[in-house]
Structure 1
């Protein structure tokens, strides 16, 4: 029991949602790569690197799910579809939107990962190891992408806010499915 919140920490649920989220992130980058070939070819090596990181993150959580005998989260395919559409749309809009989308998603993801580590604490060392294993690369994605943002106009801020809100909503939904 987590006395601060009055609820039981479900590390298995957290791992399931993180696995689905990494699947979504893999698909965001797949969509962005498809469009960046036309709109932002200079970002292709970075996007390919980020996608490879996300595939490795997904594998870390998949291994942990298998070890626990848990199925994927019900939001797994929702994350894939939503991620791919987001990747295509932001990729179509160009380098600035690609970078803004990554910053918006990673800002939310980093906050959730850090909160998860605090909530889990020493209660589930395997979950802590899995979450900790991806934190630095997620921070790298955020920081490298932030360097590509040259200006933030009203539209950019609205897009970033919308993407952050959608990311929060998918995480919330995944925790409840």
Structure 2
């Protein structure tokens, strides 16, 4: 006989998702900060776009933090790791310029959007506050993906090499965060 999760198990799962999303947004803020650092030299035409994306991610981080505070939950243990890893990834890809920057955003956002959509499916009807927080960021995350994808031509070397590495790293960080 299959047992259904209790309300407290649903709430615990939602809180864990929000903690990981909050840490992930910290990583995203720092990816853009690192990219902006070098993009001033390697891709000056992208700096305004990156600054806009960073601003969005700061807002997303604040949304998840507010919901965690409301629930009296701490940050995810991977919060600072996501920040340091994100900044490092941003610096490296920023150094390589426009194509690397765009490929990184596309790869990260593809993974993030898939996870957000899955989270919404799992939480619908179980935790409306978590659903509302997640839904509030999806459109901007999709904008980041689509706008960055417009900078890439299919089959380019750098995106072809970076995409699987960045995607796998993003998946790994989410996996670790959900188990931390």
State if a TM-score over 0.5 links the two structures.
Answer: yes
**1:174 aligned partner:** 177
SS of residue paired to 1:42: helix
**1:92 aligned partner:** 95
1:63 matches 2:66: yes
Structure 2 residues without counterparts, runs of 5 or longer: none
- 1:16-165 equivalences in 2 (<5 Å): 16-165=19-168
Change (3 A) 1:75 1:151: same
SS of residue paired to 2:113: helix
Partner deviation per Cα, 1:34-66 (whole Å, 9 max, x = no partner): 010010000001000000000000000000000
Partner deviation per Cα, 1:64-120 (whole Å, 9 max, x = no partner): 000000000000001001100000000000000000000000000000000000000
Partners of 2:3 and 2:62 lie apart in 1 by: 28
Indicate if the aligned counterparts of 2:60 and 2:137 stay in contact, CA closer than 8 A: yes
Paired positions, count = 174
Q: CA deviation at 1:159?
A: 1.0
1:11 matches 2:14: yes
SS of residue paired to 2:85: helix
Q: TM-score, normalised by structure 2?
A: 0.93
Structure 1 residues without counterparts, runs of 5 or longer: none
Partners of 1:160 and 1:88 lie apart in 2 by: 16
Moved over 6 A (4+): none
Change (3 A) 1:2 1:69: farther
Q: TM-score, normalised by structure 1?
A: 0.94
